[in-house]
Chains A and B, each alone.
Chain A
Amino acid sequence: MAIVPLRKMAKGQKGTIHRVTASGEIGRRIRDMGLVPGTPFQVQGRAPLKDPVAIRLRNFTLALRNNESDFIEAEVEEV
């Protein structure tokens, strides 16, 4: 297992939320959407200009900017 920032993850890669390092508004919004530690997710794709990133979790798809995904650390299988 390795801990990587969400921004570094490749399309199609799976992971589990390890930690959300943001507080305040950004943190609240990220958690409200269900990104709390232990949540499994998969990177579904990136927008044509590589940002935002779309991830799939809890049966829905969420797009977030790279700026926001920097606050999210994921646990992934080591390649």
Chain B
Amino acid sequence: MAHRGANLIALAGNPNCGKTTLFNAITGERRHVGNYPGITVEKKEGYCQVDGGQIQLVDLPGTYSLTAYSPEELVARNYLIQDRPDAVINIVDSSNIERNLYLTVQLLELGIPVLIALNMVDMAAARGLEINVEELARRLRLPVIPTVARTGRGKEELLEAAWRLVQKDAVWAPLYISYGPDIDPVLNKMEALIGSAGFLTDLLPARWTALKYLETDGEVIRKGKEKDPALSGKLEELAEQVSQHLQKTLDSYPEAIIADHRYGFITALLKGGVVKQSHKADRLYLSDQLDRVLTNRFFGPLLMMLIIYAVYKFTFTYSKVPVGWLEAGFSELGRLADSSLPPGPFKSLIVSGVIDGVGGVLGFVPLILFMFFAIAILEDTGYLARVAYMLDRVFRTFGLHGSSVMAYIISGGIAGGCAVPGVLAARTLRSPRERIATLITAPFMNCGAKLPVFAMLIAAFFSAKEAQVMFLLTILSWAAALLIAKLIRSTILRGPSTPFLLELPPYRLPTFKGLLIHTWERAWQYIRKAGTIILAISIIFWALMSFPGLPETDRKIYDEERASIPAGGPDSQARLQVVDNEEAQAALKNSIAGRIGSGLTLITTVNGFDWRTNVALVSGIAAKEIIISTMGTAYSLGRSRRGEQIPLSRRLAADSSWTPLKAFSLIIFIMLYAPCFATITCIIRESSWKWGLFSMVFNTLTAFIVSALVYRGGLWLGLG
């Protein structure tokens, strides 16, 4: 790795063990959040000073184990093996020490120098757990430092111990555990084979490789096959023999026996007064009492709806003020550029391309900040896990996961959300197939940018039943998202649901500093990574809608028309405006986007859309709120500002080629078609190029089919 500095230390631990809090407490301002190559697992790096010098810290993803099933586990393991940090600080939640030590044992089997931060000792003490730290350190033969990450207690001692460990420059010394009479003989034999052949031993201890062959670890076996197919085959054969023997005699598997012995090792380790439980273990703690209410059959769902609604209100109400400042600031900037730059394509690029583009990118930032802050509260308190627990049964029916609800709600499940933070909220999902299905379907929800378009069409054609139609649209978007998720999960993302084993961590009060860091890191990542792409794309869309412009001859005709209007006449201003609008319409029709729109009418007659609607829909991929202004230009109404949809609404209502059925078919199309580019960019960042493009093509195809069915079906029923 390029910036592998001296004194590199990795932080490893289970989810919910306080690892991130400790990382925040140790590292100061100098930190960096990125992704591990190829996957969307956050990688945090930071630095801190100790007496002798500087330590570079890398926060590994929270994992329960070092197997290769989840991307987090694989990333953590590969980092340890390939980047070979000088030491690992293993954070162990002391109130939950048995299960946390399972990861420790696997770190020790790998042989990397480890020291343990025995975290949340205050919580363990409150629960009557007494841990003999010296004895634990003696038995494990490694430093154990009690810490409380929330308050920073033990931080200095931990860093000093880490520094001493790094200075020792210890060689990797794998821990040997006995796996019993069925495994040990074959394990020893495999270890000898691996050792004498020097098979993968440049990076891995021989016994560890042997264990992975017994555990049928796909990743290690694949690497082994590349290195030495013959020996790899021999090892697989030995593993298969012992596996068959175990299935016959004990009805068990090698990996089960190995896990049993690891836990057996931990039990033995903690026996004899290392851990003392002073009061009864099955006592109900505050957290359990809270759960009795919060996950109660009746109150649970009720309170959940209230809390989710509060998150939504918080995100969208309080962000309105800063969003308003940003919008005002950018429109002022636009006016300034408009009045100070000479007319021409350069001015148009600056005003419509760059300023509108940057404004579009930054306009989402307050929303994202507020959304991540609200989610950070739910996540850090432990409530989000309860939401997934309560809703899993419902969402699983559609091939999703209990945690999908957050992405749906924020994307506009309660009308008026935004798919950009919604897509980012799907990060809390750890099951890959469910996560992709959520990413693809969340943009079906009615986001705040689609609402003005719907409102315009509803005002024109369904003005008597505004509220009912709006409610119907919310129901329709939920139905579409869930059903299409089901469709995706039973076709291209087919496969059993990812095992759902979710820890319900004790409720905890988050620290304000932790919440702020959490929020800021994620928002900054959006600005840096997504922002640049969105800006580039908004410039491309500006070009599509501005070029090639009107031919010289046509422009002359409009100039002459303008010249023919007598200056200072009573209606000269209005007449000039009419000519300007007509010219803008002609220029739009002649632009690349306009030509695409005209070309598309070949297909979209099925849905009842003409070129004006088509060009508006094309521009809507840049941002849904642009649909109204593009349509306004296409109907020669001038470039209407955001929110001014009344003239267009009247114009459409008066147009005999428009019917309520056609308007409804358009609403359905807008609800379902390609997400806006900001959202597509986020989908790409959260998954891959493939899925980003897929969401664009698949969602548009879905929109086309459903809206055509609505329109043609309606005509057939005589509703047109």
Q: A interface vs B, CB < 8 Å?
A: 20, 23, 25-34, 36-37, 39, 42, 44-45, 47-52, 54, 56, 58-65, 67-68
Taking A32-B259, A34-B99, A34-B263 as known contacts, 20 extra A-B pairs with beta carbons closer than 8 A to each other, sorted by chain A number, are A25-B69, A27-B256, A31-B255, A34-B98, A36-B256, A37-B260, A48-B298, A50-B393, A51-B393, A52-B393, A54-B291, A56-B282, A58-B96, A60-B99, A62-B501, A62-B502, A63-B385, A63-B389, A64-B500, A64-B502
15 of the cross-chain contacts (CB-CB < 8 Å) are: A23-B256, A27-B256, A28-B259, A29-B69, A32-B64, A34-B102, A37-B260, A47-B389, A49-B393, A52-B502, A58-B96, A61-B504, A63-B504, A64-B499, A67-B497
Q: Considering the complex, which residues of chain B in the window 255-270 have a beta carbon less than 8 Å from any beta carbon of chain A?
A: 255-256, 259-260, 263
Q: Considering the complex, which residues of chain B in the window 176-191 have a beta carbon less than 8 Å from any beta carbon of chain A?
A: none
CB of B585 within 8 Å of the partner chain: no
**Nearest residue in A to B382 (C-beta to C-beta)?**
A61
Q: Which of B127, B253, B255, B259 contacts A59 (CB 8 A)?
A: B127
Q: B interface vs A, CB < 8 Å?
A: 64-65, 67, 69, 95-99, 102, 127, 129, 253, 255-256, 259-260, 263, 281-282, 288, 291-292, 295-298, 300-301, 385, 389-390, 392-394, 396, 497, 499-506
- Smallest CB–CB gap between A27 and chain B, Å? 7
A36 near B500: Cβ-Cβ < 8 Å: no
Residues of A within 8 Å of B255, CB to CB, are 23, 27-28, 31
- Of A23, A31, A32, A50, most B-chain CB atoms within 10 Å: A32
**Nearest residue in B to A48 (C-beta to C-beta)?**
B297
Residues of A within 8 Å of B96, CB to CB, are 58-60
Do most interface residues of chain A lie in helix, strand or loop, or is the interface mixed? mixed
Residues of A within 8 Å of B390, CB to CB, are 47-49
A65 near B392: Cβ-Cβ < 8 Å: yes
Residues of B within 8 Å of A26, CB to CB, are 499
Residues of A within 8 Å of B301, CB to CB, are 48
Complex-state Cα separation, A17 to B281, whole angstroms: 18
A62 near B500: Cβ-Cβ < 8 Å: no
Residues of A within 8 Å of B504, CB to CB, are 54, 61-63
Closest 4 interchain pairs by CB? Answer: A49-B393, A31-B259, A32-B65, A61-B504
Residues of A within 8 Å of B300, CB to CB, are 48
Q: Which of B97, B256, B291, B500 contacts A52 (CB 8 A)?
A: B500
Complex-state Cα separation, A61 to B256, whole angstroms: 22
Residues of B within 8 Å of A28, CB to CB, are 65, 67, 69, 255, 259
